[in-house]
């Protein structure tokens, strides 16, 4: 189904954060000149209903800057990699992405403009960067963090439309849906397992209402964090005692790269060495990046969860 937030003008084809390094933006960066007049590619101009309102892109972008690790992954997956000239300091996948010192968390207007972008893609409008770049004629597409799978699929298709790669984007979405449906269908139906997903070792968790929680729900798992006192916000900080009392069947760690957490470090926490998941070796170390992004590689995250459930 074509994303409802995508509207084409012209040829109607259908429709916890790490702080990066950066400097304060100068007050008057040089405006980016409008591109020379030429016939637009098929499908352009296109208007996307983005997080920063309706964004009209006059021509197929040739110099894209991505300030979002998730969207960098998506741009390359949908065939727009050759159009990307710079990505932020957190964009570590794919390896060929042109990583720079640009920051999505401390955006520097002058540094971004220096890349001469004809499209900037962001997932957070920190320091009103969308409006600031708009003042110097740079189109900005704000695609916020998805809160459910359908939003992730929608954003991928919208990035396809915005970059002239809609057919490939729709193919990526179709393949993702097929893979996710297959994983859900293969999940054991007779297991009643509880789990704990750790965001960091303090420990913060994620409830079933979050994007990551909905991925777990595909496998029929019960989230212990849903009963936390402050679960309403989606990311409650749990006490060690709460987790020990809940005694989950499975534990998934999303703080492996950042915080070097493992089954051994869990066992060293007060009251945790006797947890079922620890004693039975049912602690899964996830890839931090896969567990925090909502792009095409969410399938790999689901595969890791499915494997853990099958082995339980």
Closest CA to 216 of 254, 245, 246: 254
* pLDDT of 4: 36
Say whether 188-311 and 6-176 share the same fold.
Answer: yes
* pLDDT of 29: 52
CA-atom Rg of the chain in angstroms: 21
* pLDDT of 122: 98
- The CA–CA distances, whole Å, from 69 to 24, 124, 251 equal 21, 11, 26
- Please answer whether residues 187 and 218 qualify as being in contact, where contact means their C-beta atoms are separated by less than 8 angstroms: yes
- The DSSP symbol for 194 reads E
3-state secondary structure of 247: coil
How many other β-carbons are positioned within 10 Å of the β-carbon of residue 27?
A: 8
What backbone phi and psi angles, to 5 degrees, belong to 72? -60, -45
Q: Which residues pair with 117 in a beta bridge?
A: none
* pLDDT of 189: 80
Task: Tell me how far apart the alpha carbons of residues 15 and 35 are, in angstroms, rounded to a whole number.
Answer: 25
* pLDDT of 88: 98
Q: Which residue has the tokens 């954003």?
A: 155
| CA distance from start to end of the chain | 36
Pick the CATH number of 6-176 from 1.20.272.10, 3.40.800.10, 3.40.50.1980, 3.30.160.250: 3.40.50.1980
* pLDDT of 31: 53
* pLDDT of 41: 72
* pLDDT of 164: 98
* pLDDT of 190: 85
Length of the chain: 312
Note the helical H segments in 164-198: 166-186
H/E element holding 77? Answer: helix 69-77
* pLDDT of 40: 57
What are the residues whose beta carbons fall under 8 Å from the beta carbon of 73, sequence distance 6 or more?
91, 93, 94, 293, 295, 296, 297
Domain ranges for the chain, please list them: 6-176, 188-311
Pick the CATH number of 188-311 from 3.30.1490.20, 3.40.630.30, 1.10.760.10, 3.40.50.1980: 3.40.50.1980
* pLDDT of 28: 45
In the structure encoding, which two tokens stand for residue 181, read together?
């449906």
What are the residues whose beta carbons fall under 8 Å from the beta carbon of 47, sequence distance 6 or more?
7, 8, 9, 54, 55, 56, 57
Ranges of the chain whose pLDDT falls below 50: 1-28, 34-38
């Amino acid at each position: 189904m074509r994303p409802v937030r995508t509207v084409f003008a012209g040829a109607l084809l259908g429709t916890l954060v790490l702080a990066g390094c950066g400097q304060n933006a100068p007050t008057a960066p040089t405006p980016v000149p409008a591109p020379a007049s030429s016939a637009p590619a098929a499908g352009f101009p296109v208007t996307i209903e983005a997080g920063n309102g309706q964004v009209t892109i006059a021509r197929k972008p040739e110099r894209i800057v991505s300030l979002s690790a998730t969207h960098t992954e998506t741009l390359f997956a949908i065939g727009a990699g050759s159009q990307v000239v710079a990505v932020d300091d957190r964009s570590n996948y794919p390896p060929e992405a042109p990583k720079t010192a640009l920051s999505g968390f401390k955006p520097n207007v002058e540094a971004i403009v220096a890349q001469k972008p004809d499209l900037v893609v962001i997932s957070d409008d920190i320091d009103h960067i969308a409006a600031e770049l708009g003042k110097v004629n740079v189109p900005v597409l704000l695609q916020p963090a998805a809160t459910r799978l359908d939003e992730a699929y929608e954003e991928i298709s919208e990035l396809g439309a915005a970059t002239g790669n809609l057919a490939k984007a729709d193919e990526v979405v179709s393949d993702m849906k097929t893979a996710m449906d297959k994983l859900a269908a293969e999940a054991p139906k007779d297991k009643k397992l509880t789990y704990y997903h750790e965001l960091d070792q303090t420990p913060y968790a994620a409830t079933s209402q979050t994007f990551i929680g909905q991925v777990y729900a595909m496998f029929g798992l019960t989230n212990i964090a849903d009963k936390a006192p402050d679960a309403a916000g989606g990311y409650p900080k749990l006490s060690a005692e709460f987790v020990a009392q809940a005694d989950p069947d499975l534990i998934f760690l999303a703080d492996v790269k950042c915080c070097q957490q493992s089954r051994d470090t869990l066992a060293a926490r007060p009251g945790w060495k006797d947890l079922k998941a620890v004693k039975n070796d049912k602690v899964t170390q996830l890839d931090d990046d896969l567990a925090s992004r909502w792009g095409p590689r969410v399938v790999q995250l689901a595969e890791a969860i499915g494997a853990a459930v099958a082995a339980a």
